[in-house]
Structure 1
Amino acid sequence: MNGPEIQVGFAPELLLFVPRARPAGIIRAPVDGVSTLGHVVESLGVPLTEVGTLLVDGHRVPPGHVPVAGESVAVRPVDRPQRVPGAPLRFLLDVHLGTLARRLRLLGVDAAYESTDIGDPALAARSAAERRVLLSRDRGLLRRRELWAGAFVYSTRPDDQLSDILDRFAPALHPWTRCTACNGLLREATKEEVADQLESGTQRSYDVFAQCAECGRAYWRGAHHEQLEAIVRKHAP
């Protein structure tokens, strides 16, 4: 490789994005005296949503730092728990993360979800408009500049995805308070209020119900309750 270069070392947690930096985690990258360090890091494959501290020759610098030839850069992952400016902490999940969205809602976490592919620009715009942390496995989506905040979902397994997001952001948990279908808040409901959604066997067997204040869906301790209870016990004992 000709021209001025810098040495970039990546933390082990980030090598997923830079496989050619393995096994030492170090790669040499060209610099042009104009592009920012954030741009260089992203050009190597790492979304800035996954970058914590940037060190140049041992000194902390912002992503806007313009690197010069010969500098040695260390790229660290985000701190955990990650603090997101503003309150309350809310999420937006893309079309591929429906199971994760339902499990976050089960735990009472505000998790909006797009069940259809509305496109990257619309997702990024919604993240900014509603100040939601966008969760996605799409690296290109997480590089969009209009995002308010974002995070890469590292695993393809819903159990691991949930554990990772809870560990990374440490959101307040309020199990059984949100509709897993639409994210609305639940309220107590009488059997009569939800009777039109119940089969005769359910009406005879159950007396305690909740109903979503947004979509009207009814909830009770049905056949899948033990499976849901196990998720809640694991993450919100």
Structure 2
Amino acid sequence: MDHSATFSFFGSLNDFIPVSKRGQPLPYCFAGAPAVKDAIEALGVPHPEVEVILINGQPVDFYRPLQAGDQVAIYPAASRAQHPESYSVRAGLLPPDAFVLDVHLGKLVRALRMLGFDSCYRNDYTDKDISHIAQSENRIALTRDVGLLKQKSIRWGYWLRSQLLTEQLGEVISCFHLKKKFRPFTRCIACNGPIVEVQKESVVTQLPPKTKLYFDEFYQCNCCGRVYWKGSHYERMQEFIGRYLNP
């Protein structure tokens, strides 16, 4: 026998709902007793974007079986302050400060590394690779692919709404409250390795002629050996970072 329940999505979760159906209760027909998580994702919303689920006014986890006549309200992370901490589907857990990004986000990964965030990326990662890394290394999966975020093994994740780098970075900083966690210029933007200060003599053979003449302070990646110094590019990077520290 088929049953039905009614789902209401709030805030940014409506980004996953067809425009004509946003902001209104959605009927959902089902057989048996599926987990509420399965119903949420069948309606288009990936589970990592969900923070609170209320069924008939009571908080539940993703695995509560759906019953006929249930009234289901689903809230995003931005609404966390509206509910007691115990209502969260991830109560007691804090999101990590490390990321893994899909193939579409090569520019974003460089920006996150510039801010000091541990960010894994390769342009040949498959969805399986990303979900495995996210789970095994406790990383937030960032993607432009909604389907990737529906993989069961991904606990933390976010779907980038914008295709513009400046807006994407703002989304991630806002969603995961990163502003106070910036550690600029501590990671290599090329390979993600840690950067340390080094003596000029140890890297002098890697420097362009004019750099040898005009600069004396240098930093090097412990992993790939790339050398950094505070040239004109450094000033541009500081200006870029300042947009997010002082919006």
Relative to the length of structure 1, the TM-score reads 0.90
Identical residues among aligned pairs (%): 33
Cα distance in structure 2, aligned partners of 1:101 and 1:83: 28
Cα distance in structure 2, aligned partners of 1:188 and 1:84: 38
- Contact between 2:102 and 2:130, CA under 8 Å: does it hold in 1? yes
Match of 1:38, SS state, is helix
Q: Deviation string for 1:94-150 (max 9, x for gaps)?
A: 111111111111111111112x22211121111122111111111111111122422
- Contact between 2:14 and 2:23, CA under 8 Å: does it hold in 1? no
Cα distance in structure 1, aligned partners of 2:14 and 2:117: 30
Match of 2:27, SS state, is strand
Classify 1:88/1:207 alpha carbon distance in 2 versus 1 (closer, same or farther; 3 Å).
same
- Contact between 1:11 and 1:25, CA under 8 Å: does it hold in 2? no
Confirm or deny that 1:232 pairs with 2:231: no
Cα distance in structure 1, aligned partners of 2:161 and 2:92: 19
Who is 1:196 aligned against? 205
Structure 1 window deviating more from structure 2 (52-61 vs 140-149): it is: 140-149
Confirm or deny that 1:113 pairs with 2:121: yes
Classify 1:181/1:214 alpha carbon distance in 2 versus 1 (closer, same or farther; 3 Å).
same
Cα distance in structure 2, aligned partners of 1:39 and 1:20: 22
Who is 1:35 aligned against? 34
Confirm or deny that 1:211 pairs with 2:220: yes
- Contact between 2:198 and 2:218, CA under 8 Å: does it hold in 1? yes
Structure 1 window deviating more from structure 2 (19-28 vs 92-101): it is: 19-28
Match of 2:202, SS state, is coil
Who is 2:154 aligned against? 147
Gapped runs of 5+ residues in structure 2? 81-89
Cα distance in structure 1, aligned partners of 2:106 and 2:191: 11
Cα distance in structure 1, aligned partners of 2:91 and 2:215: 42
Cα distance in structure 2, aligned partners of 1:84 and 1:117: 34
Measured after TM superposition, the shift of residue 232 of structure 1 is 2.0
Cα distance in structure 2, aligned partners of 1:26 and 1:106: 42
Amino acid at match of 2:228: Y
Structure 1 window deviating more from structure 2 (15-24 vs 219-228): it is: 15-24
- Contact between 1:211 and 1:218, CA under 8 Å: does it hold in 2? yes
Who is 1:104 aligned against? 112
Who is 1:122 aligned against? 129
Who is 1:158 aligned against? 165
Confirm or deny that 1:184 pairs with 2:200: no
Classify 1:223/1:186 alpha carbon distance in 2 versus 1 (closer, same or farther; 3 Å).
same
- Structure 1 segments, 4+ long, off by >3 Å, are 79-88
Tell me which protein shows more helix as a share of its residues: 2
Match of 2:236, SS state, is helix
Gapped runs of 5+ residues in structure 1? none
Who is 2:85 aligned against? none
The alignment yields a C-alpha RMSD, in angstroms, of: 2.3
- Contact between 2:113 and 2:189, CA under 8 Å: does it hold in 1? yes
Measured after TM superposition, the shift of residue 196 of structure 1 is 2.5
Amino acid at match of 1:110: D
Task: Give the number of equivalent residue pairs.
Answer: 235
